[in-house]
Structures are given as structure tokens and as C-alpha cells.
Amino acid sequence: SSHGATRHPLSRRRSSLAPFAGRPGGSGAAAPAQTARVLQLRVRAEIEEVGWGQLVSATGDDGVSCLTFRVMDEQRRHHLLEITLPMNYPACPPSIAADVPYLPKLQWSESSRLKDVLCQFQEHLKVLQDYWSTMDGIDKALWVVDPTKPTYAMSHHRIALGDDCYILLHVDTHKPNSLPE
């Protein structure tokens, strides 16, 4: 299907997680370098729980680190989930970005881990399966002229009817089997 396009053409690689080494420390008695080391070890352990094979990239900048994981849904579609860790992680929840029509609201506590974020995202992907099946059906059955390379987040298609006549079709992501707008 043409919905296989992903937002970031990242190559799969194992990261050394060097970006975590220079993070400024949080509050507390530990020195900033020691706090950064504790956080680095925690994040490494959490990646280990998820599995290094799912990690696509790990970058860091000014105390904010971004991890990108590859997640496969029930129909074997590949999705990239970017997880940005705040400087006071895990006291504050990470933010997420992905090529989906809308993002889930993360349930988070200080004891939450990266695997919890990925599990919640996986559940969100299950909710979107009917929507993507509907969009795949439109791609297969109709002459879609725009977008030429749709992404998983796109809920509209411009369909050619013939004789320079087009219709803009919008599918409700929450009720994909209802009549489109």
C-alpha cells in the first residue's frame, strides 16, 4: 500500500547512547555528572527491556534526548515512534511523535518506563487498524491523485472522477466505516 511511507528515513543501527553522557543533572545531592550517569544507566536498562532491535536512533541535545523506536502493528505496517525525554525524566513524562492521525494521551507516573510508552503506543495502533484498512481500500479501488505518497497520518485523499472532476474525501479517523465527508 502507498501508506507505507514513513516520516523519517532512518537507518537501523545500535546507538552507543553517548548523547546521554553530557546531560545536565537534576536537583538533588548528586553532582551533575553523577546524576547524568545514573540517568544514562536507567535509560540503557529501559532500552534493554524494550529490545535494542527496536531502537532506530538515539540523539541528545542540551539535556533533551530523543529515542526513535520501530514499532510494527497487527498488519505488519512499520511505524517510527519518537520519544523525547525531558531533563527531569522520569519525574516528568516524555513527549512522543509519530506518523499517525492523532497521538494517544500517555498515562504516566514516576515508576513508568519506556516499555510502558511503547505498550500504550501499540494499543493506540490497534485502535487505528480499521482506519488504515479503510484508507488502503480507497487507495486500491479509486484513482487517488493527491497525496501521491500518503503517510499513515493523512485522513484525506483527492480522488479523480474523470473529465477534470475531483472530489476531496476525508475519512473520520475515529469512525472510519462511517460515510466520509
pTM above threshold 0.75:
yes
C-alpha 50 chain-centroid distance: 15
| Residues 155/173, Cβ–Cβ less than 8 Å | yes
Q: What is the mean pLDDT of residues 163-178?
A: 92
Domains defined along the chain, listed by start: 2-126 (3.10.110.10), 129-170 (3.10.110.20)
SS3 of residue 162 by DSSP: strand
The 10s digit of each residue's pLDDT in 71-129 is 999 999 999 999 999 888 999 999 999 999 999 999 999 999 999 999 999 999 999 99
Question: Strands, DSSP E only, in the chain?
Answer: 55-61, 64-72, 78-85, 95-98, 144-146, 156-162, 165-170
